[in-house]
Amino acid sequence: MNKKQKKVLIRIIVSIALLTIIAIITSEGIGISVLSDNRIMQLVLYLIPYFVIGYDILKKAFKGIMNRQVFDENFLMAVATIGAICLGEYREGVAVMLFYQIGELFQSYAVGKSRRNISELMDIRPDYANIEGEDGLLQVDPDEVEIGTIIVVSPGEKVPIDGVVVEGTASVNTSALTGESVPRTISVDDEVISGCINMTGVLKIRTTKEFGESTVSKILELVENSSSKKSRSENFISRFAHYYTPAVCYSALALAVIPPVIRLIIGMSPEFGNWVYRALTFLVISCPCALVISIPLSFFAGIGGASKAGVLVKGSNYLEALASVKHMVFDKTGTLTKGIFEVTGIHHNELEDEKLLELSAHAECYSNHPISKSIRTAYGKTIDQTRVTDVEEISGKGVTAKVDGMEIAIGNSKLMEQMSIKYENCHKVGTILHVAINGAYAGHIVISDVLKDTSKEAIARLHKMGVKKTIMLTGDSKNVAEYVAAELGIMHVSSELLPGDKVAKVEELLDAKPEKEKLAFVGDGINDAPVLSRADVGIAMGALGSDAAIEAADIVLMDDDPLKIAKAIGISKKCMRIVYENIYFAIGVKLICLLLGALGIANMWLAIFADVGVMVIAVLNAIRALMVKKI
Partner 1 sequence: MKKTYKIDVDCANCANKMEEAAKKTKGVKDATVNFMTLKMIVEFEDGTEPKAVMQDVLKNCKKVEDDCEIFL
Minimum distance from residue 117 beta carbon to partner 1 (Å): 11
Q: Cα(91)–Cα(93) distance, rounded to whole angstroms?
A: 5
Residue from the set 113, 116, 229, 232 that interacts with partner 1 by CB under 8 A: 229
Residue from the set 288, 398, 523, 538 that interacts with partner 1 by CB under 8 A: 288
423 near partner 1, judged by CB under 8 A:
no
What are the start-end ranges of the E strands in 361-411? 388-394, 398-403, 406-411
Nearer to partner 1, 39 or 63 (CB): 63
Nearer to partner 1, 224 or 547 (CB): 224
- Output phi, psi for 450, to 5 deg: -90, 140
73 near partner 1, judged by CB under 8 A:
yes
Residue from the set 36, 108, 175, 527 that interacts with partner 1 by CB under 8 A: 108
Minimum distance from residue 164 beta carbon to partner 1 (Å): 33
Nearer to partner 1, 226 or 281 (CB): 226
For partner 1, which stretch binds (CB under 8 A), given 11-19, 110-118, 141-149, 259-267? 110-118
184 near partner 1, judged by CB under 8 A:
no
Residue from the set 22, 293, 419, 578 that interacts with partner 1 by CB under 8 A: 293
For partner 1, which stretch binds (CB under 8 A), given 107-115, 199-207, 567-575, 589-597? 107-115
Nearer to partner 1, 110 or 203 (CB): 110
Structural contact between residues 288 and 241, judged by C-beta atoms closer than 8 angstroms: yes
Q: Cα(382)–Cα(407) distance, rounded to whole angstroms?
A: 21
Structural contact between residues 277 and 601, judged by C-beta atoms closer than 8 angstroms: no
Residues 6+ apart with CB under 8 A from 224: none
Classify residue 430 by its DSSP letter: S
Nearer to partner 1, 119 or 438 (CB): 119
Nearer to partner 1, 67 or 181 (CB): 67
Minimum distance from residue 103 beta carbon to partner 1 (Å): 11
User: Among residue numbers 266 through 285, which ones bind partner 1 (CB under 8 A)?
Assistant: none
Residue from the set 297, 388, 446, 539 that interacts with partner 1 by CB under 8 A: 297
Minimum distance from residue 319 beta carbon to partner 1 (Å): 13
Q: Which of 526, 527, 561, 557 is nearest to 540 (CA)?
A: 557
Classify residue 386 by its DSSP letter: G
Residue from the set 300, 341, 423, 441 that interacts with partner 1 by CB under 8 A: 300
Residue from the set 11, 230, 362, 590 that interacts with partner 1 by CB under 8 A: 230
225 near partner 1, judged by CB under 8 A:
yes
Q: Calculate the alpha carbon distances from 328 to 174, 458, 471, 574 in Å.
A: 28, 12, 6, 19
Active-site annotation holds for 331: yes
Minimum distance from residue 531 beta carbon to partner 1 (Å): 25
Considering the candidates 37, 135, 141, 331, report the single residue annotated as catalytic: 331
Structural contact between residues 138 and 132, judged by C-beta atoms closer than 8 angstroms: yes
Three-state SS for 138?
strand
317 near partner 1, judged by CB under 8 A:
no
Residue 67 identity (one-letter amino acid): N
Q: Calculate the alpha carbon distances from 64 to 86, 98, 250, 279 in Å.
A: 22, 21, 18, 21
Exposure string for 32-69, b = 16+ CB within 10 A, e = fewer: eeebbeeeeebeebbebbbebbbeebbebbeebeeeee
Minimum distance from residue 583 beta carbon to partner 1 (Å): 14
Residue from the set 127, 132, 191, 224 that interacts with partner 1 by CB under 8 A: 224
6 near partner 1, judged by CB under 8 A:
no
Burial of residue 527, with CB atoms counted within 10 A of its CB: 0-12 exposed, 13-18 middle, 19 or more buried: middle
Nearer to partner 1, 54 or 288 (CB): 288
Query: Contacts by 452-455 with C-beta closer than 8 Å and gap 24+?
Result: 452/336, 452/337, 452/338, 452/560, 452/561, 452/562, 454/561, 454/562, 454/563, 455/336, 455/337, 455/488, 455/562
Q: Cα(364)–Cα(210) distance, rounded to whole angstroms?
A: 40
Structural contact between residues 287 and 280, judged by C-beta atoms closer than 8 angstroms: no
97 near partner 1, judged by CB under 8 A:
no
196 near partner 1, judged by CB under 8 A:
no
Residue from the set 38, 175, 200, 238 that interacts with partner 1 by CB under 8 A: 238
Three-state SS for 342?
strand
296 near partner 1, judged by CB under 8 A:
yes
289 near partner 1, judged by CB under 8 A:
yes
For partner 1, which stretch binds (CB under 8 A), given 182-190, 197-205, 221-229, 604-612? 221-229
115 near partner 1, judged by CB under 8 A:
yes
Nearer to partner 1, 19 or 311 (CB): 311
Residue from the set 52, 57, 85, 111 that interacts with partner 1 by CB under 8 A: 111
Residues 6+ apart with CB under 8 A from 55: none
Q: Which of 167, 153, 135, 257 is nearest to 195 (CA)?
A: 153
Classify residue 158 by its DSSP letter: B
Nearer to partner 1, 68 or 630 (CB): 68
DSSP string, 438-468: TTEEEEEEEEEEEEPTTHHHHHHHHHHTT--
- Angle, helix 563-599 to helix 289-308, in steps of 10 degrees: 170
CB neighbourhood size of 88 (10 A): 13
User: Among residue numbers 439 through 468, which ones bind partner 1 (CB under 8 A)?
Assistant: none
Minimum distance from residue 472 beta carbon to partner 1 (Å): 37
Nearer to partner 1, 117 or 324 (CB): 117
572 near partner 1, judged by CB under 8 A:
no
Nearer to partner 1, 215 or 317 (CB): 317
Residue 559 half-sphere exposure, CB side, CA atoms within 13 Å? Answer: 20
Nearer to partner 1, 220 or 510 (CB): 220
Structural contact between residues 292 and 111, judged by C-beta atoms closer than 8 angstroms: no
72 near partner 1, judged by CB under 8 A:
yes
Q: Calculate the alpha carbon distances from 626 to 148, 313, 555, 613 in Å.
A: 39, 14, 17, 21
Our measurement of the distance from residue 397's CA atom to the centroid of its chain's CA atoms, rounded to an integer in Å, reads: 48
123 near partner 1, judged by CB under 8 A:
no
Minimum distance from residue 63 beta carbon to partner 1 (Å): 5
Minimum distance from residue 114 beta carbon to partner 1 (Å): 8
Q: Calculate the alpha carbon distances from 389 to 385, 394, 401, 402, 554 in Å.
A: 8, 15, 6, 5, 54
Site size with partner 1, rule: CB under 8 A: 30
Minimum distance from residue 262 beta carbon to partner 1 (Å): 35
60 near partner 1, judged by CB under 8 A:
yes
Catalytically active residues are 331
Residues that bind partner 1 (CB under 8 A): 4, 60, 63-64, 67, 69, 72-73, 104, 107-108, 111, 115, 118, 224-225, 227-230, 238, 241, 288-289, 292-293, 296-297, 299-300
